[in-house]
Amino acid sequence: MRRIGLVGGTSPESTLYYYKKYLEISREKFEPYVYPELIIYSINFKEFIHNPNGWEGRKEILINAAKALERAGAEIIALTANTPHIVFPDVQKAVNVPMVSIIDALIEEMRKRGVKKVLLLGTKTTMTADFYKNALREAGFEVVTPSEDEMNELDRIIKEELMFENFASRDWVVELINRYIEREGIEGVILGCTELPLIIKPGDVKAEVFDTVEIHMRKLIEVASG
């Protein structure tokens, strides 16, 4: 099996969830005690999120982390967060090993489940920037995003609560999803921030739930073992 490298720390809470899914999926797919080799490079999240050079500075942090994973022997690399995929193409160009995109893995899973109209949740950048929505629309999906006030509150919940293992606003997020099921007739909800699966699980709402962490890790293990 090929060695997996994860650029983690964006945030540490979601990286921990990635590792949990890595264990669960490996136990499901392989015989006892078999796990693909895995390397995690956990960045300093404060330097990342408050970078004075914005996305250019954040991109350099991600590139340096990916190169470090490559030097350490990683044969497949992934970014363990949705929003940093805004610079995914540039990070991929900077290393000589393949990278697995969370967005590509998500699109593949959405096609398998046969949904067409979805609610995209995540950080405000993920919900407003073109890189995520355009990829989904080009793949044939109808994408709905929350109102600006709802986006602002969800962004706050992610950054001020979920990243610190505070799940107090779970009911607010469930109610948000339910509103869009009733109003917009969405068939699925994309948990497009890797902290959101910490509070929303399949069965919590009457729509398909797309846990991007589980989908991403499942694809990574598939590629590693294929």
d(CA 15, CA 13): 5
Q: In the prediction, which pLDDT does 226 show?
A: 87
d(CA 107, CA 136): 7
Residue 118 has phi, psi (to 5 degrees) of: -135, 155
Q: In the prediction, which pLDDT does 187 show?
A: 98
Element (H, E) at 29: helix 12-29
Tell me, what amino acid is at 83? Answer: T
pLDDT in tens, the chain (226 residues): 999 999 999 999 999 999 999 999 999 999 999 999 999 999 999 999 999 999 999 999 999 999 999 999 999 999 999 999 999 999 999 999 999 999 999 999 999 999 999 999 999 999 999 999 999 999 999 999 999 999 999 999 999 999 999 999 999 999 999 999 999 999 999 999 999 999 999 999 999 999 999 999 999 999 999 8
Residue count (the chain): 226
d(CA 21, CA 214): 6
Could you identify the residue written with the tokens 């970014």? 79
CA angle 131, 195, 43 (to 5 degrees): 80
| Virtual torsion, Cα 120, 170, 218, 130, nearest 10 deg | 20
pTM of the shown model: 0.96
Encoded tokens for 53: 């050079």
Q: In the prediction, which pLDDT does 79 show?
A: 98
Residue 22 vs residues 6, 17, 35, 86, 116: alpha-carbon distances, Å: 11, 9, 8, 24, 28
